[in-house]
Amino acid sequence: MIRTVSALVLDGLAPFEFGVVCEVFGIDRSGDGVPNFDFKVCGPEPGKPLRTSVGASLIPDHGFEDLIGADLVAIPAIAGVNYPEDALDAIRRAAAAGSIILTVCSGAFVAGAAGLLDGRHCTTHWMHADALAEMFPTAKVDRNVLYVDDGNLITSAGTAAGIDACLHLVRRELGSEVTNIIARRMVVPPHRDGGQRQYIDQPIPVRCSEGFAPHLDWILSNLEHPHTVATLSKRASMSARTFARRFVEETGRTPMQWVTDQRVLYARRLLEETDLDIDRVADKSGFGTATLLRHHFRRVIGVTPTDYRRRFSCTDCAETA
């Protein structure tokens, strides 16, 4: 049961991510049947303003010592990677005393600096996932999910994924009825399907060799046609073995893995920019059948083509604008 919540604030705090924590845990909704949380905002020096990432100031009412003993310690996104040692010490002591630690977006770096990610499953914004994995090599960083629940450590991906993580924690600790009340007041779904893969910009891989680039360009211009290693190698005037080896060296993927990924990316663009039905999208992107498109699209992007179009279709935006 969560009764006490302490939020860490430092210079460079991101207001939206902090606001997410405040919205879920800092507002008295006891009149709606939601248990009231004892919510504290904890900074380096009570009463002293902190600069946020957008230039505005925020004044905490409590010091780091009030992180220790809270049922939940929330760490919003905070710019930079150098954090006060007394803040990190308080987080460590809070975790050791049994607090649940929840991070939003780059708040995972603060938890990592406190040593809480070692050997743990975690996530952060997809733009920062590689940096998190490099900085904390024993952390098991999942780049695809909206949040990771690893028991007393909950980490979330970028920005709005903090809402998903907070509501998940409320559901886990207080049940679905309380979660639904909070979500309804926030005008957000109590649960989102899919992961952050659907929000990641996935460009065509950088080509390393000018001599090999024309082969990739030709494939991209002919995705709707069937391809095999044998037909592609013949067109490139190479043996199948040599072509496959060169392809992996150039792209990091086998030929058919690369072709499939590019078909998914092209299908994604068609779903965003056209009103073609799913069968036609499957045909134009080279999958041939809607069933095959759905299988590979969900594997790469994390949601079905229909769900993706509903969220990202530019034609829908134009119609409603």
pLDDT given for residue 240 in this prediction: 96
CB atoms inside a 10 Å sphere around CB 130: 12
Name the 3-class secondary structure at 13.
Answer: strand
State CA 84 to chain mean position distance.
26
Which of 104, 110, 120 is closest to 25 using CA atoms? 104
208 is catalytic: no
User: Which residues make beta-bridge pairs with 234?
Assistant: none
161 and 244 housed in the same domain: no
100 and 167 housed in the same domain: yes
166 and 250 housed in the same domain: no
Contact between residue 8 and residue 110 where contact means Cβ atoms under 8 Å apart: yes
Residue given tokens 């119609």 in the structure block: 319
Amino acid at 84: P
258 within a domain of the structure (yes/no)? yes
Contacts 24+ apart (CB under 8 A), 217-224: 219/258, 219/259, 219/262, 220/262, 223/259, 223/262, 223/263, 223/266, 223/285, 223/286, 224/283, 224/284, 224/285, 224/286
Q: How many CA atoms lie within 13 A of 248 on its CB side?
A: 7
139 and 64 housed in the same domain: yes
169 and 80 housed in the same domain: yes
pLDDT given for residue 195 in this prediction: 57
- CATH code at position 20: 3.40.50.880
CA distance 131 to 25: 29
72 within a domain of the structure (yes/no)? yes
203 within a domain of the structure (yes/no)? no
165 and 27 housed in the same domain: yes
Q: Which two tokens stand for residue 86?
A: 């007394």
Domain edge (last residue) among 170, 197, 224: 197
170 and 301 housed in the same domain: no
Parent domain of 242: 213-320
237 and 125 housed in the same domain: no
138 within a domain of the structure (yes/no)? yes
| Mean pLDDT, contiguous 10-residue spans, the chain (321 residues) | 96 96 96 94 97 94 97 95 95 97 97 96 93 96 88 90 91 87 84 56 54 86 94 95 92 90 89 91 95 92 87 56 37
Contacts of 291 (CB under 8 A, 6+ apart): none
pLDDT given for residue 141 in this prediction: 93
Query: Interhelix angle for 255-273 vs 240-251, to 10°?
Result: 60
pLDDT given for residue 265 in this prediction: 87
218 and 193 housed in the same domain: no
CA distance 142 to 75: 19
- CATH code at position 312: 1.10.10.60
pLDDT given for residue 314 in this prediction: 63
Q: Which two tokens stand for residue 278?
A: 């799913």
CA distance 139 to 113: 12
220 and 189 housed in the same domain: no
152 and 29 housed in the same domain: yes
204 within a domain of the structure (yes/no)? no
Amino acid at 306: T
Catalytic residue from among 105, 166, 208, 314: 105
pLDDT given for residue 201 in this prediction: 52
Instruction: Compute CA distances 180 → 32, 186, 194, 198, whole Å.
Output: 11, 10, 19, 24
Q: Which two tokens stand for residue 309?
A: 């179009």
What total number of domains does the chain contain? 2
Is the pTM higher than 0.75? The answer reads no
Domain edge (last residue) among 149, 167, 197: 197
Beta strand ranges found along 182-253 (DSSP E)? none
pLDDT given for residue 207 in this prediction: 47
User: Which residues make beta-bridge pairs with 72?
Assistant: 5, 100
26 and 164 housed in the same domain: yes
pLDDT given for residue 206 in this prediction: 46
142 within a domain of the structure (yes/no)? yes
pLDDT given for residue 308 in this prediction: 85
User: Which residues make beta-bridge pairs with 50?
Assistant: 58
Contacts of 317 (CB under 8 A, 6+ apart): none
pLDDT given for residue 199 in this prediction: 53
